[in-house]
């Protein structure tokens, strides 16, 4: 009986630590991407479809944002559904496959090796499949009943589809079997990942977290579920339209824009009812919402005017910066200020190490500098892209790199306490 209890405790610690492992991967990827951004300023002001730019995009989207979300879901889904992960022995193989696949894709993008890219993409698909095997079973009974659970389930479906389509796009570069437009196919993959996977997950999680944190407690409006369904329908319609080159691109873009605006309004009302003092975590949430509005505007512009012209290519690059780094990046940074120290506290408690509070594990002093450098850099970057000025983009990327590296250093310091018993 004692041996069984010890084994259960080990698996509980392993389940808690897996989130920290992913946060470390995410933070290191963000640091690498931020450090590399100034070197890519010239390429970013040119056409967006370049191997080095795609490597940078996947460093942020796959290495940073997706890894951070996987880490959150590994802890959040069992806590939300009151269920255990069905296959805990898959945790480490899934992590190893993810690191090998994601790093392989980024490195082969940088090298311009399409065979290497689609080979690494297969490894990523295998990793995502193992992740889904652990996450789908606890979520499935709650689909249609819980807003957050339904949203995360649908988002994970989109992740699987996005990974598969990305693999096919890379394979097509070697064997040329896909029809249609390269830009349309690439846009379908990007929107499956950015809106179907990341944005839908962010919306679903925030619909659960914000009311839970609000004082006094407030109920989530019934329209929240329909907003998630509208985002789902919009993504499906947009992707089918892009892949099949059907009319209706502007229509589905407007559907998505309206659904996201409805989300913004709902969250704004919940936060107003919360009336919590604005700290840097809330500040990043507000900045992320502002960048989401910018991304929506640029996305609608692309839907009506396309990305084929020189101006369209600039709009597309600005759209990517606003969406990936502005909207998603600010959300990840803001949430990490709350969640990462709390996750470390849980690991230390399970390991029976000396107690440390989330406040002790936080480093708030750099946060103002991170916020200013990061967001001022993004705003300058978008301006530089619009006028295709390399000098402006270099200055902007240096600011982004400074904010990103400052954040990464403070965050990694916090995460190390999940691996060592020492105190501050």
List Cβ neighbours of 244 (8 Å cut-off, separation of 6 or more): 180
pLDDT band of residue 256 (cuts 50, 70, 90) is: very high
3-class SS string, 370-407: HHHHHHHHHHHHHHHHHHCCHHHHHHHHHHHHHHHHHH
Tell me the two tokens of residue 299: 């996305």
Of 143, 151, 149, 266, the C-alpha closest to 201 is 151
pLDDT of 274: 60
Q: Which region among 3-7, 9-13, 278-282, 411-415 has the lowest average model confidence (pLDDT)?
A: 3-7
HSE-CB at 102 with a 13 A cutoff on CA atoms is: 25
pLDDT of 218: 59
pLDDT at 275 over 70: no
Tell me the two tokens of residue 292: 């989401």
What architecture does CATH give domain 2-418? Up-down Bundle (1.20)
pLDDT of 1: 45
pLDDT of 5: 45
List Cβ neighbours of 62 (8 Å cut-off, separation of 6 or more): 29, 102, 105, 106, 124
Q: What is the pLDDT of residues 63-109, one digit of tens each?
A: 999 999 999 999 999 988 999 999 999 999 999 999 999 999 999 99
Q: Which region among 260-264, 287-291, 303-307, 373-377 has the lowest average model confidence (pLDDT)?
A: 303-307
Calculate the average pLDDT of the chain.
90
Domain boundaries, the chain: 2-418
pTM: 0.94
pLDDT of 85: 92
pLDDT at 186 over 50: yes
- What proportion of the chain, given as a percentage, has pLDDT over 90? 70
Q: How many CB atoms lie within 10 A of CB 422?
A: 9
Task: Report, as an integer, the average pLDDT of 39-44.
Answer: 86
Q: Which residues of 151-189 are buried (b: 16+ CB within 10 A; e: fewer)?
A: bbbbbbbbbbbbbbbbbebbbbeeeeeeeeeebbbbbbb
pLDDT of 217: 57
Q: What is the pLDDT of residues 358-399, one digit of tens each?
A: 999 998 999 999 999 999 999 999 999 988 899 999 999 999
Q: Which region among 60-74, 84-98, 164-178, 260-274 has the lowest average model confidence (pLDDT)?
A: 260-274
pLDDT of 376: 97
CA distances from 313 to 298, 384, 419 (A): 11, 13, 45
Q: Is 340 left (phi over 0), alpha (psi -120 to 50) or beta?
A: alpha
pLDDT of 4: 47
Q: Which region among 49-53, 230-234, 387-391 has the lowest average model confidence (pLDDT)?
A: 49-53
Q: Which residue has the higher pLDDT, 164 or 10?
A: 164
CA distances from 224 to 143, 190, 200, 216, 221 (A): 14, 24, 12, 19, 6
pLDDT at 265 over 80: yes
68 and 336 Cβ atoms separated by less than 8 Å = yes
pLDDT band of residue 179 (cuts 50, 70, 90) is: confident
Q: What is the pLDDT of residues 116-135, one digit of tens each?
A: 999 999 999 999 999 999 99
pLDDT of 209: 73
């Amino acid at each position: 009986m004692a041996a069984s209890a010890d084994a259960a405790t080990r698996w509980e610690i392993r389940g808690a630590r897996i989130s920290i492992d992913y946060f470390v991967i995410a933070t290191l990827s963000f640091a690498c991407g931020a450090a590399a951004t100034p070197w890519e300023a010239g390429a970013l002001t040119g056409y967006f479809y370049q191997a080095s730019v795609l490597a940078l995009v996947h460093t942020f989207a796959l290495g940073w944002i997706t890894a951070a979300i996987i880490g959150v879901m590994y802890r959040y889904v069992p806590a939300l559904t009151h269920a255990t992960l069905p296959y805990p022995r898959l945790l480490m193989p899934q992590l190893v496959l993810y690191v090998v696949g994601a790093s392989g894709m980024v490195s082969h993008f940088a090298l311009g090796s399409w065979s290497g890219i689609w080979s690494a993409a297969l490894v990523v698909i295998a990793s995502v499949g193992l992740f889904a095997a652990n996450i789908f079973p606890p979520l499935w009974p709650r689909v249609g009943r819980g807003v957050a659970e339904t949203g995360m389930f649908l988002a994970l479906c989109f992740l699987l589809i996005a990974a598969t389509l990305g693999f096919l796009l890379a394979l097509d570069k070697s064997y040329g079997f896909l029809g249609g437009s390269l830009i349309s196919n690439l846009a379908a993959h990007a929107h499956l990942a950015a809106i179907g996977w990341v944005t839908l997950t962010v919306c679903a999680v925030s619909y659960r977290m914000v009311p839970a944190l609000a004082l006094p407690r407030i109920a989530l409006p019934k329209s929240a579920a329909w907003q998630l369904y509208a985002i789902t329908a919009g993504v499906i319609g947009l992707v089918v339209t892009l892949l099949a080159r059907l009319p209706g691109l502007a229509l589905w873009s407007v559907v998505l824009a309206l659904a996201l605006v409805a989300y913004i309004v709902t969250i704004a009302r919940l936060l107003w009812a919360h009336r919590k003092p604005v700290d840097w975590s809330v500040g990043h949430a507000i900045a992320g919402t502002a960048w989401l509005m910018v991304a929506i505007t640029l996305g609608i512009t692309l839907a009506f005017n396309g990305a084929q012209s020189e101006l369209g290519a600039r709009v597309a690059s600005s759209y990517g910066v606003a969406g990936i780094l502005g909207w998603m990046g600010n959300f990840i940074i803001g949430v990490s200020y709350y969640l990462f120290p709390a996750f470390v506290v849980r690991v230390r408690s399970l390991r029976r190490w000396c107690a440390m509070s989330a406040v002790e594990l936080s480093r708030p002093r750099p946060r103002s500098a991170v916020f200013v450098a990061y967001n001022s850099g993004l705003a300058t970057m978008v301006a530089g892209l619009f006028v295709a000025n390399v000098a402006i983009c270099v200055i902007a990327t240096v600011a982004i790199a400074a904010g990103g590296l400052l954040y990464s250093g403070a965050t990694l310091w916090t995460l190390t306490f999940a691996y060592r018993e020492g105190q501050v």
